[in-house]
Each structure stands twice: as C-alpha cells, then as structure tokens.
C-alpha cells in the first residue's frame, strides 16, 4: 500500500516541478540544495498534530490533509532555499535538541519552536500559498493521496 501511495505522491510532485528528485524515505524530509524530496509515512502523531496546529494558525480551516501539506512544505524548502539561513537553523535546532535532552522543554515544545524557525516557517508558508494559488490541483491530489 505504501509503495502505491509513494508512486502517487511522486507523480504529484513531478507535476509541480519535474526537476525535483523524489525518493522513498522513512519520513517526509528534503535536501533542498540537491532538490530531493524524501517521501515517508512514519511521522509521529506529535509531529503531525503540531504541524497541523501551526498550519491552522497560519491558515485557519485549511481543508487539505497533512500529507499533502507536508509534501508542499518539503517542496517549499527547495523554493525558499537561502544558504544564509542554514547556519542559524543549525544553531537553533541544536539548541532545541539540547534543551529537550536536558529535560528543559518537552518534545511538544521542541516541535512548536522548530516549526517556527525561519527556515521551516518559510517552507510552510510557501506550501500554504501554493494551495491558495493552485486550489483545484490541490483538491484533486488531496483526494488521490489521502
């Protein structure tokens, strides 16, 4: 079942941008500098919930499913790539991970702050803008990949 869903997602991504490489992975993630999106279906419930909460802050009553939005978020990393953001991002993620490892913040708090890092936020906002500008396309694929 996962391979069929992967192939559908790959087809959708190629319709958005044929130059993006799509590979199977453990979770949704991206190598923006290489224009590679990894498709995986093993995100945790907490990751899905905190992502959805953030999406609802930015675009209340968003009708699209988490998988579609997550894929668009990863594509957003490619389109919003700014090498200058990377150094700050790495420092911020390391700090969040240290705070979590030292029990100074919960995993939910780590996710909350992570999604609001400039690099992550730009990718999410790109994805949400894409849904607004390509609503018919997104509604079609929302049904196909759900």
Domain assignment present for 24: no
- CA-wise closest residue to 21 among 3, 39, 8, 4: 39
Domain contains 6: no
The 10s digit of each residue's pLDDT in 23-39 is: 999 999 999 999 999 99
Q: Give the domain range for residue 116.
A: 44-145
Within 10 Å of residue 73's Cβ, how many Cβ atoms? 26
- Residue 114 maps to a domain: yes
Per residue in 102-130, pLDDT (tens digit) is 999 999 999 999 999 999 999 999 999 99
Residue 119 in any domain: the answer is yes
Average pLDDT taken over every residue of the chain: 95
pLDDT value of position 146: 80
Inside any domain, residue 4 = no
The count of domains in the chain is 1
In a domain, 101, yes or no: yes
Residues 6+ apart with CB under 8 A from 138: 64, 68, 72, 130, 131
Residues 28 and 120: their CA atoms lie apart, in Å, by 13
pTM value? Answer: 0.94
Q: Is there a domain that residue 32 lies in?
A: no
């Amino acid at each position: 079942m996962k391979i069929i869903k992967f192939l559908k997602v790959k087809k959708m991504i190629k319709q958005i941008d044929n130059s993006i490489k799509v590979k199977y992975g453990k979770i949704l993630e991206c190598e923006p500098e290489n224009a590679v999106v990894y498709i995986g279906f093993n995100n945790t419930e907490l990751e899905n919930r905190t992502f959805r909460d953030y999406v609802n802050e930015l675009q209340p009553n968003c009708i699209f499913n988490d998988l579609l939005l997550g894929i668009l978020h990863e594509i957003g990393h490619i389109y919003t790539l700014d090498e200058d953001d990377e150094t700050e991002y790495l420092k911020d993620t390391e700090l969040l991970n240290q705070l979590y490892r030292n029990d100074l913040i919960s995993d939910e708090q780590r996710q909350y702050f992570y999604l609001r890092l400039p690099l992550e936020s730009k990718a999410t906002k790109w994805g949400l803008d894409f849904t607004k500008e390509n609503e018919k396309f997104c509604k079609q694929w929302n049904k196909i990949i759900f």
